[in-house]
Structure formats: C-alpha cells, structure tokens
Amino acid sequence: MLTVVHTGILVSSLVFMLFPVRINSIFRSSCEMVSKSTNEKLKQGIAVRFHGEEGMGQGVVREWFDILSNEIINPDYALFTQSADGTTFQPNSNSSVNPDHLNYFRFAGQILGLALYHRQLVNIYFTRSFYKHILGIPVNYQDVSSIDPEYAKNLQWILDNDISDLGLELTFSVETDVFGAMEEVPLKPGGTSILVTQDNKAEYVQLVTELRMTRAIQPQINAFLQGFHTFIPPSLIQLFDEYELELLLSGMPEIDVQDWCRNTEYTSGYDAQEPVIQWFWEVVKSLTQEERILLLQFVTGSSRVPHGGFAYLMGGSGLQKFTVAAVPYTPNLLPTSSTCINMLKLPEYPSQDVLRDRLLVALHCGSYGYTMA
C-alpha cells in the first residue's frame, strides 16, 4: 500500500491530503485520489510514500509515475492497444468494453499532464498519430502503418498509380470491425454511392486515414485531452512537434544491452564465441545511449524496444530476433542492414578498433546501408 501526500511550496511538511492506495489497485485508487484533489494543489507538488516504508522524495514519485504509466497500458483496462511492431501504443477503438473507459482516459491524460508539469518521465511510448492528436496536428496516411502496415501500403499504392481502368469499384465507405461484426461506414455523407476515381482518390485516402486514426477513437482522444489540458494548456504544448513531445514525456528510450545480447541470433559463419562478435558487444556496451538507439534504428528501422524486451522484436512477417550476419572484410567496408528481417551485416573486421570506427561512421554519417532481404 502507498500513501500520496500533497505538499505546499512554502511549508513542505504540510500535509494537504493523506490517501491510502493499495499497490494491487493502484490505478483505480490513484484515479479516485486525483479526482478528489484540486488542480491547484496537484500543481503545487506531489509527495508519495509507500505503506510500510519510510522513504519519500523524488525517487518514490518517479516510481509512482512509472507504475501508473505501466497500468495505463495494462490490457485488463482495454484502454490502449499495441502498434503493429509492438513498440508503441494507440487508443483502443473498442475500449468501451470497459464501462469506465472515458473516465480512465481522462485520468490517463491527467497523469501524463501532471508528469510533464512536474518534469517526470513516463514509461510509455505512443504512436506518432496519437502524439499528433495531443498537439492538434492532422494525421496522414503514413500514420496508418503503425496499426496496419499492409493497409498503409495499399493506400500508398492507390496514390502512386492510375486507378482509372483497374475496376477497383471502391466507394467512399469502408467495412469496419465492430466487436467482431463487420459494418459499412460512409467516409462522408452519401459515401456508399460515391465512386473513388483518379481525381478524388487523394480525398478518399485522407478520409480513410481520418476514420482509422481519428474518428474511430474520437471519444477516447477527447477524454484524454480533457485530462491532459487540465495541467498543460494547448497553447503551450503546440510549441512542439510530435518527436519533441515524445522526448518531453518519455525521454530517450532505455536499452538493456544484456537483454539485447541474450536475444540475438548469428548466421553466415558467426556465433556467440567468434572474436568479431565479442568485439561487437564490447563496442555496444561502450556506446552512449543515443548511439545504441541509432544502432537499433539502423538495423530494425525503429528506435524503440518492443514492450517486453528484445524477445518480442518484430520483423516483416512476425517475430524476428535481432540477427548478426558475417560479411567478408575489405578495407573501409561499412556495416549494412536488412531492416525487414532485423539483420546487421557485419564485416569480419580485423580488430575491435576497426569495428568500432566503421560502425560509428555508419551510424553518424548517414550511411544507412539498408538492403532488401
């Protein structure tokens, strides 16, 4: 059990409210606590004490925010669903299976707003489209790839090709899964009888995007923003773009090198005992956090580790572990990668120093040697 105490700015020992929260119901109890507090007192400061422990201070506050951010994405509450690659989260369009879902979305917005207000980081990363919703930035068809990569490719194909004589017979409507039943939803008034043509296909793609990424979760977005704006006004947050907002809320992703090494496979002549592989992991351990993120992005196309660790890394056709493949060495040869299968093609360098130098050149100088598998 923990106790949450509000402290004034001038008299830090002044207890505004003492509220017991059991650790096994921290989400609901904290939601109730926040709803009973005034915004002014929540802005003044938050002190947290775990029941049975003497410790207080910023470390305990950080732990409270960390636990709550993990609870926000707890599938038991049905508030958020994982993105296609398992690294980010998006509001669940079917969250109404939880009768309290909108109250909980409002609470989730309050927690993230409070965290940002008090300069605390949360342990959760959202899809680019959801950050855009927080900022009031329109989504585009490329944002669809976070929840349905194949559908995004289809939209891209429509935009890139002349559809005049293909007989697609598309209309301004789509079939949507609502609790297991397919329903036809018009994209605009009379959409079921309006054909998609070469002239209006861009409008169709944008409306499909808005349906999938915005209209389907509009009540959830509105409830979240109602809570978030309690502490962070729109005029302030709109100074940032979606990338900056992610860093403000969640900071730089932490990468567990031991977990990374444990969940890596080797091919084309490499194994875990090869000197080049031993050198590689020594270099990875010596990299800065930013450089590790660059390496992860270089090989997988994503800067984040999936929820649950490297064992859940996704490739183009499902789970696909990080893989290092041997490549014959020639002087000045740089590493390359196949992002669709999370493969680093690492030359058989003659020393650890050469390996480090060539790897850093690839990461820092924009030599993104992506290849098709």
Per DSSP (E only), the strands in 157-301 are: 173-178, 181-186, 264-267
* Amino acid in position 341: I
Asked whether 44 and 8 are in contact (CB, 8 A), the reply is yes
Between CA 314 and CA 206 the distance in angstroms is 28
Neighbours of 345 (CB within 10 A): 20
Between CA 279 and CA 11 the distance in angstroms is 55
DSSP 3-state helix, strand, coil percentages of the chain (rounded to 5)? Answer: 45, 15, 35
To the query of whether residue 31 is one of the catalytic residues in this protein, the response is no
Active-site residue (options: 31, 261, 340, 365):
340
Decide: residue 181, CB within 10 A, 0-12 exposed, 13-18 middle, 19+ buried: exposed
Asked whether 154 and 170 are in contact (CB, 8 A), the reply is no
Angle, CA of 263, 265 and 269, to the nearest 5°: 160
Three-state secondary-structure class, residue 270: coil
Rounded-to-10 torsion of CA 114, 120, 125, 128? 70
Specify the DSSP class assigned to residue 317: T
Active site residues: 340
